[in-house]
Amino acid sequence: MSILTIILNIFLPPLSVAMNKGLGKDFIINVILTLLGGIPGMIHAFYVTSK
């Protein structure tokens, strides 16, 4: 995991997920989680990008 990925996971979780997985179901889930609260979106982004 690069430093750019870590920074994007913290500040722009949906963008980080889109860069790694594309605009699929993971992106939509992350957008919803980010809108519900920043922390769930960050956690999901770290989980998705660490696979």
Spatial distance between the Cα atoms of 3 and 31, rounded to a whole number of angstroms: 22
**Hey, what amino acid is at 14?**
P
Spatial distance between the Cα atoms of 34 and 1, rounded to a whole number of angstroms: 21
**Hey, what amino acid is at 51?**
K
Contact of 9 with 51, CB cutoff 8 Å: no
For the stretch 3-50, pLDDT in tens is 999 999 999 999 999 999 999 999 999 999 999 999 999 999 999 999
**Mean pLDDT for the chain?**
94
B/e letters for 16-34, b = 16+ CB within 10 Å, e = fewer, are: bbbebeeeeebbebbbebb
Q: What is the pLDDT of residue 51?
A: 78
The dihedrals phi and psi of 30, each to the nearest 5 degrees, come to: -70, -40
